[in-house]
Structure 1
Amino acid sequence: MIHPPTYAHSDRIALYSPEFAAMPHECYQDMRKRFGSLVPVELSPGVPATLVIDYRTAVQVLHDPAHFPVDPRMWEKDVPDECPVKPMLAWRPNAIRSSGQEHRRYREANVAALSAVDLHGLHAVVERIAVPLIAQFCETGSADLIADYARPLAFQVVNAMLGCSPDIGQRVATGVITLFEGSDAAAGNAMLVGALSELVAGKRAEPGDDVTTRLVQHPAGFDDQEVIEQLVTLYAAGVEPVHNLIVNTLLLILTNDRFAGNLLGGSLSTRDALDEVLFLDPPIANFCMTYPRQPVLLDEVWLPAHQPVIISIAACNNDPAISGGDYTGNRSHLAWGAGPHACPARQSGYLIAQDGVDQLLDALPEIELSVEPDELAWRPGPFHRALATLPVTFDPARPFASWQPG
C-alpha cells in the first residue's frame, strides 16, 4: 500500500498569513529552493494542501481531469463547517466543481449566456458607470482607487451584465469579498446565496436581456439552486478578480517609469500593462483546486488522496524555466486558467479592466501615489493578490459636461 509523505505543521507554508500577503514573491522563491515544484501549504489553520509552483507541472495538472478531478466532496466531508475556507472550496453544482457530463452541462450554459453579451454595449456600460464614479472625487485632489473607483466599478458592471438591482448586488458584493478573505466565509456565503435567490426569482417572474435570464431560460433546464450556483461563480470571477486586476494594473502604471512614460507616449498599451500584471501579480494568485481520488505520483512526490492540489498562478507565471522577463504581447500566463475549466469570460474581463483603467487615466492623467509603494498594505488571504487601499493624489479637476450620466 502506498503511504504518501506527511509534513510537520511547521513545514507547511501558511498562505493566509499577513507575512505571505506582504511578500509572496519572496516566499515563492524560497518555496522553490526548499521544495521544488510541489509545496506543502496550509490554506487556513489545520487545512493542508499542495501548492504547484512549476509552470509545466501546473499545465499537466490542469489538462488531466482524470487524475486531478475538481469535485471536493470526499475532502469536505471531514472538514468542519466552521473552517474559514470551506465555503470557498466546497462542492457546488457548477462548472468549476463538476466533471464529465455535469461539467459540460453547466459550462455550455455559462458559455452561451456570456457569449451573448454585447461587448460593444459592455464598453458603453463601463463608461456610463466609470464617469460618475470619477466625478465624485475628481474635484477633491485625492482618492482611494479601490473604495472610490475599482471595486464599485467592477461590482456595478457585473450587476448590469447579470441584470441585478443595486440592493441585491450590494449584498452579493459583500458576500463575495468575505468569501475571498476567509474571515467569516460561512456568513458571506449565506449572504451571497440569499441575495441571488431573490435575483433568480425576479428573473423567472420578469425576464430581461441579461446573463441571469439566459441561464434561467437555457435548455439545460436548471432549477433555482443550479442557477444560483452559476451566478455565485460569475460574481466571484467578475467582481473581486476584476477590481483587483484594475488596481494592480494602476499600481504598475503609477510605479513603473517604463510603463507610465510609454503608456502616455503611445508605445505601450493598457493591454500590455494588463498582461504584465497577469504574469507578475495576477489578481487571483492561488486557485484552480483539484482533489486526487487516490494517491498520485507527480514530479516524484506522492500526493495524498482527497487533499487539495492548488495551482499557484503567480508562482507558475514567474517560474524561471519559462519567464523571459519581456511580457509585451505574451499571453501564455495562467491567469485565466487552462484546460477544460479555463475561464469562459476572459474577453469580458479584459474589456472591463482595460476600459476601467483607460477611463481613469483619460480623466486624471497626472495621478500619483500618495504613499511610498512599500507602505501599501496587501490583504491577507490564500487565494487573492489584493491591496487594502490604493491612495492617490492629483490636481483637482472639474467634471466636464460629457461626464454627466445620461
Structure 2
Amino acid sequence: MELDPGVPAMLCLGYDTALEIMRRPETFSKDPRHWRARNEGVLPEGSYAPHIIRPRPQVDFVDGEEHRRLRGAIEDTTGRIDSAALRNYVERIADSLIDQFCEAGEAELIGTYCALVPIMVSSQLFGCPQEIMDQLLRGVASFIDGSDPSGGDRTSGAALRELIDLKRREPGADITSWLIAHPARLTDEELIEQLLLLIGMVTGVVPGLIGNSLRVLLTDERFSGELMGGSMLVEDALDEVLWTDPPVANMGLYFPVHDTNLAGKRLRAGDAVMISFAATNRDALLRSPHKQGNRAHLAFGAGPHACPGRSSARLIASVALEKLLDRIPDLALAGEIEELKWLSGIFVRGVITLPVRFAPVARPGGRLTSAPPARPGEPDQRQDLPAGAPPPPPIPPISLPFATDAASEGEALMGPGPELEQQAEDRQKQQSSLLGFLNRWRRAR
C-alpha cells in the first residue's frame, strides 16, 4: 500500500503478526532513521506522512537506551498523578460544560463537550496557560488537517518552548514541571517532543474515544435500549470502541533492521511496515469474539512502545461519559447515523459531529425555563430564557494533587487556581478556539 502517493509501505492486518512486530524490538525498530526509502531519497517532496514519521527525539520514534531513558522520564512523571483527584477534576469540568447546554434540550456534543473536556483537563495537568494552549491547538490543527504540517510543527514547538520557559521560572506540581526536573535531564528538544506526544494524546485521541463511545451508546442496540448512567455500561462501551473503532486506527510504523520473513512475506531492511490497529482488532474478533471486560485489543499498542498514557486517557473518557449519562440519561441521536460526519485520515478516525436531543434538565440551583425541542412536523413550544437569568456557574477553583514524596515534606503540590471570573472567561475562550479548530477539520474533509 501507499501512505501517500509515492510513499510505499506494507500494511499489517493480522493480530498475531502485529503482536510479533511490536514484541520484537531487536528486529523491528520504531526509529525512522532505518527507513530505507527516506535514506535513499526517493520520498516525494512535501509528502504528509514522511513529515510526521521522521527522526525526532520522541519516545515513540527511538529504541534501546534512548527509548528507556525517555520512557522512564514519562512514566515517572505521569505516575505522580493522583487518579482520585484527576477523577474529581474531570467531574467538575464535565458538570460545568453540561450546565451550558442541559436546558436547551439539544446539543452538538463533539464541539461543546467531547473535545472540550480533555483540552481543559490538559491545561491543568500540564500547567498550561490559556494563551499558550490556544497557540498549541492552532499548530496541532494545521498539523492534523494537513493544511500546513511544517507550519503546524513550528507553531506547536514555539508554544511548548514558551511553556517550558514559563515552568522553569515558575515550576509547579504539574507534568511539565516534573518532566523538566526529572533526573534524566531532558534537553529542550526532548522536552518539546515528549510534551507534544502527551498533550496530543489527551487533546487528540481522548476526544475521539469519548465521541466514538457516545456514538456506540446512542446507536448500538446492545447499549441504546438501556442508556443510563453507570460505570459498567460506560466501561463496556469503551471496550467496544477500543476493539472495533479505535480513535487511532493506523499508526505503529516499524522498520526491520535486517532482511526478514514475516507472515509469509519477505521484508528488506528498512521497509516501512504500518500496523492497522482497527484491522488487527477485527481479525482477533473474527477468530474469537471478545467477551465483556476483555482488553486484549491493540488500540494502545503493545510491547515496549505501548501508549504510556493509556490509564489516564481511559479514566478521563470514562468519567466524562459517566457524568454526561448521569446528568442527561435520555440522550438520543438527532438525525440518522448515516448523517454523522467523520474525521478520517491516514492515522485517525472519529465522529466530528454528534447532534443529540433530550428532555431539558435544569441546572443545579436553577429552574427549567424551556420545553423540549419540537420533533419534525410539530410546533416549537420552546420559550426564550428570561432576561437576567443567572449565567451557568464557572468551573470552581481546584488544585489537582500529585502523588509525590515531596508532599510529606510540606511542599505545595499545586497553587490555587485562577479566580472564578477568569476561569469562566478562559472556558469561553477554549470553546471558541476549539470550535474553530473543529471547523477547520470539517472544511478539510
Instruction: Give TM-score, length-normalised by structure 2.
Output: 0.78
Per-residue CA deviation, residues 183-203 of structure 1 (Å, 9 max, x unaligned), is 432222122111111111111
The answer as to 2:19 corresponding to 1:59 is yes
Equivalent of 2:218, from 248, 251, 254?
254
Alignment match, 1:12: none
Q: Do the aligned partners of 1:275 and 1:327 also contact (CA within 8 Å) in 2?
A: no
Residues 267-346 of structure 1 aligned to structure 2 (within 5 Å): 268-319=232-283, 323-346=287-310
Q: Which has the larger radius of gyration?
A: 2
The answer as to 2:168 corresponding to 1:168 is no
Structure 1 counterpart of 2:318, one-letter code: Q
Q: Do the aligned partners of 2:6 and 2:44 also contact (CA within 8 Å) in 1?
A: no
Alignment match, 1:95: 59
Alpha-carbon distance, 1:295 to partner: 3.2
Q: Do the aligned partners of 2:228 and 2:326 also contact (CA within 8 Å) in 1?
A: no
Distance 2:50 2:148 in 1: 10
Structure 2 counterpart of 1:397, one-letter code: V
Structure 2 counterpart of 1:128, one-letter code: R
Distance 1:278 1:212 in 2: 28
Alignment match, 1:128: 92
Instruction: Give TM-score, length-normalised by structure 1.
Output: 0.85
Alpha-carbon distance, 1:252 to partner: 0.2
Distance 2:136 2:291 in 1: 35
> Alpha carbons of 1:217 and 1:140: their partners in 2 closer, same or farther (altered >3 Å)?
same
Alpha-carbon distance, 1:156 to partner: 1.3
The answer as to 2:159 corresponding to 1:159 is no
Distance 1:307 1:208 in 2: 44
Alpha-carbon distance, 1:396 to partner: 2.4
Alpha-carbon distance, 1:92 to partner: 1.5
Alignment match, 1:16: none
> Alpha carbons of 1:266 and 1:164: their partners in 2 closer, same or farther (altered >3 Å)?
closer
Alpha-carbon distance, 1:106 to partner: 0.1
> Alpha carbons of 1:349 and 1:375: their partners in 2 closer, same or farther (altered >3 Å)?
same
The answer as to 2:101 corresponding to 1:137 is yes
Equivalent of 1:50, from 2, 10, 13?
10
Equivalent of 2:29, from 69, 83, 87?
69
The answer as to 2:166 corresponding to 1:202 is yes
Of stretches 75-84 and 111-120 in structure 1, the one that deviates more from structure 2 is 75-84
What number of residue pairs does the alignment pair up? 366
| SS of equivalent residue, structure 2 residue 275 | strand
Of stretches 60-69 and 386-395 in structure 1, the one that deviates more from structure 2 is 386-395
Alignment match, 1:116: 80
Residues 23-34 of structure 1 aligned to structure 2 (within 5 Å): none
Of stretches 388-397 and 54-63 in structure 1, the one that deviates more from structure 2 is 388-397
Alpha-carbon distance, 1:123 to partner: 0.7
> Alpha carbons of 1:229 and 1:51: their partners in 2 closer, same or farther (altered >3 Å)?
same
Q: Do the aligned partners of 2:48 and 2:146 also contact (CA within 8 Å) in 1?
A: yes
Structure 2 counterpart of 1:56, one-letter code: D
Percent pairwise identity: 41
Equivalent of 2:344, from 380, 383, 387?
380
Structure 1 unaligned residues grouped into runs of 5+ = 1-40
Distance 1:205 1:267 in 2: 41
Structure 2 unaligned residues grouped into runs of 5+ = 367-391, 397-445
Alignment match, 2:111: 147
Per-residue CA deviation, residues 287-339 of structure 1 (Å, 9 max, x unaligned), is 11112233331111122432321111111111057643344110000111100
Alignment match, 1:360: 324
Distance 2:359 2:191 in 1: 46
Alpha-carbon distance, 1:170 to partner: 2.1
Alpha-carbon distance, 1:222 to partner: 1.1
